[in-house]
Chain A
Amino acid sequence: MSRFIDIAALEDIPRQGARLVKTALGCIAVFRTADDRVFALEDRCPHKGGPLSEGIVHGTSVTCPLHAWVFDLNTGQAQGADEGAVQTFAVQLTAGRVLLDATRLARRSAA
């Protein structure tokens, strides 16, 4: 079962940018692409913990600001020669509002 929580208006996130959501498990970066798609990924690069929310967003990828690893926003997988992945979270866009799936956050924290 998923539980979607209203986070913000789409307009609060800059195009080709991201904003942070604080959770008990750490920060989640909510990205908005140039064509208004939204994605949510854990804000911690598997390389050395760089904040992905501060990376440059291009197409449906983001480049980590610290050492330029590139991640696919769809899957959280590192691209190219680098290996690693970040967790992704389901997001929905309804009537201009961004909703984040908090199921996993709740379950984990309950465990």
Chain B
Amino acid sequence: MKQKLVVIGAGMASGRMLEALFEAGGNFDVTLFNAEPRGNYNRLMLSPVLSGEKTYDQIVTHDAAWYQAHGVDCRFGEPVVKIDRTNRIVTSNTGGVPYDALVIATGSAPFIVPVPGKDLPGVVAYRDLEDTNAMIAASKPGARAVVIGGGLLGLEAAAGMAARGAEVTVIHLMGHLMERQLDPAAGYLLQKDLERRGIRIHCKGATKAILGTDRVEAVLLEDGTVYPADLVCMAVGIRPEVRLANDAHLEVGRGITVDDQMRTSDPAIFALGECVEHDKQLFGLVAPLYDQAKVLAATLLGQQAAFKPVQTATKLKVTGVDLFSAGDFADAPGREDIVFRDPGRGVYKRLILEGDKLIGAVMYGDTADGAWFFDLIKQGKPITDQRDTLIFGPAFQGGAQTDPLAAVAALPPEAEICGCNGVCKGKIVTAIGGGATTLDAVRMATKASASCGTCTGLVEQVMALTLGDRFSANTNPPMCKCTDHTHEDVRRLIKSMGLKSIPAVMQELGWKTVGGCASCRPALNYYLIADWPTEYTDDRQSRFVNERNHGNIQKDGTYSVVPRMWGGVTTPAELRAIADAADRYAVPMVKVTGGQRIDLLGVKKEDLPAIWSDLNAAGMVSGHAYAKGLRTVKTCVGTEFCRFGTQDSTGLGIKLEKLLWGAWTPAKVKLGVSGCPRNCAEATCKDIGVVCVESGYEISVAGAAGMDVRETEFLCKVTTEAEVMEVIAAFTQLYRENARYLHRIYKWVAKVGLDWCRAQVEDPATRRALYDRFMLSQSVYQTDPWAELAAKPADWAPIADLTLRAAE
């Protein structure tokens, strides 16, 4: 008969234990209780959720399908209230469940400083999704937040809220930040870095009371300082959650006492995670908990295993702050330091030696060699020979070149790459040998970089070394070589950190080059235009030549000129003006384009302002044939003349073009409006297409007819022209706000899903808000660039002519 296994707590430790159990083929009937109303997720990643870099969905580790596949009876939102050891029954708020074996994995509870006002609404801890959401809700730009506690958690909370625009103050009892992980010098650098981000730090501050009547209003310190606050986050420490074990009279010290097999004082009850005490030691980081998980799974399967705590290293998960510490770095007799400082670059490294061994390392600003030092600490090998150059890291051992991969190449196979999951270099290399050639595959096979993610770069370096040319960075690579951030991350951070200029983005997100490159600058310029239409000023020098000069550059350096021909309709007067211009500027070719308008090809740069001003004089404006923006709205004749037409497709096309022109978009946008399903305007292979029918208008999106050919997909049907305009403007705005640069609509829709897009434009309030934001942007950007630039012809000609002088 199957054994009945009951697990209390669906946290990081128990999730890993269940995985190990099922992977080994364990045959258990599992009931999983969790006080939180959800299953296992990656708690470490709450910080990126808080700062806006990730969403909750992205950090779920086990979904409903997984529990179902393994027959786990999920009792989420059901806290266990009692363990009856005699009858082997656990009782939750909904009833009792019997067990053969019981696992307690209740984690820990945040410590709340016992000061007056601690129970006021607006005081939160930092432990679960509810806390995180409360902080997100409270961190509107301009809101004031106070974080009590300047340790790892407190600082991640502070940075996250600051990234969302809140004014944050951190109150820390000790003389410097993160005193358990950092020495004073590194703590000082960290403080400076955080202050530069606008976070106020108050060290040596003891909280006396939290003030407020109905909810928090301020925090009062012993020294009399008062900080106004709309939200207070207490992150001063954690205490093992042992209440159930106490009530059941299990042996409990500071945590639930367990032996090397994770067994408590009752042989049928096991415990693991932050709630346990092993060999007088408590645990607060996941790496040792994952080891416990493996040991407990083995124990439950009747196999031999023993838990031995490993050394842990710490990294702070705040984007743009590089910090690493490992081992023991307290001052003590017989210890020596090697220190390297480069205040200009904000780099500080300190190694702590005892005798001929490295026992601790603290690094700030440049942590690339962290893994290598950590490995030396764990090996405990004498380092006397290397002492002279030790602080410069592995690249300098034996006079090797400073190759960015050298540090990783120098690591022995047993060196740990992923601290959270205890994955060593050798294991990754073996997995790659076994066919795991993408980052995801390596994660799947080894779990390396699957928890806090800070070692992703190292894992990729191991892959690069092992695969050589066959390595191509992950499927969502960084924007370009200037940064490690993906397009998506940069877009999110621009919004959440309120970055409003290209230099600010490069500074705050740690760009690795001066002034970016030809690939990231146009993207950043677009993101800033789209996100801050009224505050950001377009940077012409970050535009690709076509958009800078408002014409398509030709292979001989001349340009093409395409005036707008609304909906493909023209007049004899316009045609005459085009013909005159073609004559006057000796245009080599006049061509009808595939977009229902006329292209004047081969115009010299110096002539551009003059030809534009001639076309302007005849009432024509730029057709943006060169733009990542609205190109053309192709129409057919519709009810005006066609015997099959059901609606005025030509008129609607013209209205749409007049609504949308001038808008910058991630990639070009083309529309078509056909008067009936015969579809003469080819509306169903455009980015956005409208097909008129007797009863209204069918709007479809995400078509293409370039390098990919695709039919559009149905978005929605509406009955009036006004609705067509609102839906299409709203959809375009959704695309402008969310897509990555250079992705056409069809690529973006494939990523986010058409259902999501439809839900946004179908909800009247969301649609209206999108429409309003689109129109706000149009109020700034719907201007004719030709008129503007034709007024400054001097800028387009050479600055000097030396032909005469040089030939003299």
Contact = CB atoms under 8 A, between A and B. Distances in A.
Contacts of B540: 14, 17
Given A56-B541, A56-B544, A58-B513, A8 B799 contact: yes
Contact of B798 (A22, A24, A50, A59): A22
Contact of A59 (B513, B541, B799): B513
Nearest to B542: A56
Among B541, B545, B806, the most chain A Cβ lie within 10 Å of the Cβ of B806
A13 interface: yes
B517 interface: yes
Contact of B518 (A13, A19, A55): A55
Among B513, B515, B549, the most chain A Cβ lie within 10 Å of the Cβ of B515
B807 A24 contact: yes
A108 to B, nearest CB: 8
B483 to A, nearest CB: 13
A102 B805 CA distance: 9
B765 interface: no
Contacts of A15: 541
- Interface residues of chain A: helix, strand, loop or mixed (majority): mixed
A5 B802 CA distance: 9
A65 B806 contact: no
B557 A16 contact: no
Interface string B523-554: 00000000000000000111111001100010
Bin chain A's interface residue count. 35 or more
A21 B799 contact: yes
A23 B542 CA distance: 28
B65 interface: no
Contacts of B555: 48, 66
A50 B557 contact: yes
A12 interface: yes
Contacts of B806: 23-25, 102, 105-106, 109
A30 interface: yes
A105 B802 contact: yes
B800 A22 contact: yes
Contacts of B513: 58-59
Contacts of B545: 54-55, 65
A57 interface: yes
Contact of A70 (B518, B542, B553, B557): B518
Bin chain B's interface residue count. 20 to 34
B802 A66 contact: no
B513 to A, nearest CB: 6
B709 interface: no
A24 B800 contact: no
A63 B545 CA distance: 11
B541 A16 contact: yes
A2 B735 CA distance: 56
B720 interface: no
A24 B805 CA distance: 9
B803 interface: yes
Interface string A29-71: 0100110000000000000111100111111010101101010
A68 B544 CA distance: 11
Given A22-B803, A66-B555, A56 B518 contact: yes
Nearest to B802: A23
A19 to B, nearest CB: 4
A58 B799 contact: no
A25 B553 CA distance: 23
A20 B799 contact: yes
Contact of B800 (A7, A51, A65): A7
Contacts of B803: 22-24
Contact of B805 (A5, A17, A20, A25): A5
A93 interface: no
B190 to A, nearest CB: 29
A27 interface: yes
Contacts of A100: 800, 802
Interface string B772-808: 0000000000000000000000000011111101111
B522 interface: yes
Contacts of A63: 517-518
B192 interface: no
B723 to A, nearest CB: 41
Contacts of A102: 802, 805-806
A42 to B, nearest CB: 13
Contacts of A34: 514-515
A57 to B, nearest CB: 7
A25 B513 CA distance: 34
A58 B518 contact: yes
Nearest to A16: B541
A1 B26 CA distance: 87
B604 to A, nearest CB: 12
Nearest to B548: A54
Contacts of B548: 54
Nearest to B543: A56
A58 B517 contact: yes
Interface string B508-523: 0000011111100110
Contacts of B802: 5, 21-24, 100, 102, 105
Contacts of A58: 513-518, 521
A105 B800 CA distance: 14
Contacts of A66: 553, 555
Contacts of A49: 556-557
Given A58-B521, A106-B806, A65 B541 contact: no
Contacts of A7: 799-800
Given A54-B553, A102-B805, A21 B798 contact: yes
B799 A19 contact: yes
A25 B802 CA distance: 10
Interface in A59-111: 59, 61, 63, 65-66, 68, 70, 100, 102, 105-106, 109
A109 B803 CA distance: 10
A58 B514 CA distance: 7
Contacts of B517: 56, 58, 61, 63, 70
A82 B544 CA distance: 21
Contacts of B800: 7-8, 21-22, 100
A48 B544 CA distance: 18
A12 B521 CA distance: 22
A30 B800 CA distance: 10
A92 to B, nearest CB: 15
B553 A109 contact: no
Contacts of A68: 518
Nearest to A21: B800
Nearest to B804: A24
Contacts of B556: 49
Contacts of A25: 806
Contacts of A16: 515, 541-542
15 contacts: A8-B800, A12-B799, A20-B798, A21-B799, A23-B802, A24-B802, A33-B515, A34-B515, A51-B557, A58-B515, A58-B516, A58-B521, A61-B517, A63-B518, A102-B805
Given A13-B799, A22-B803, A34-B515, 9 more contacts: A12-B799, A14-B541, A22-B798, A56-B544, A57-B515, A100-B802, A105-B802, A106-B806, A109-B807
Interface of B: 513-518, 521-522, 540-545, 548-549, 553, 555-557, 798-803, 805-808
> Which 5 pairs of residues, A with B, have the shortest CB-CB distance?
A63-B518, A19-B799, A16-B541, A65-B545, A56-B518
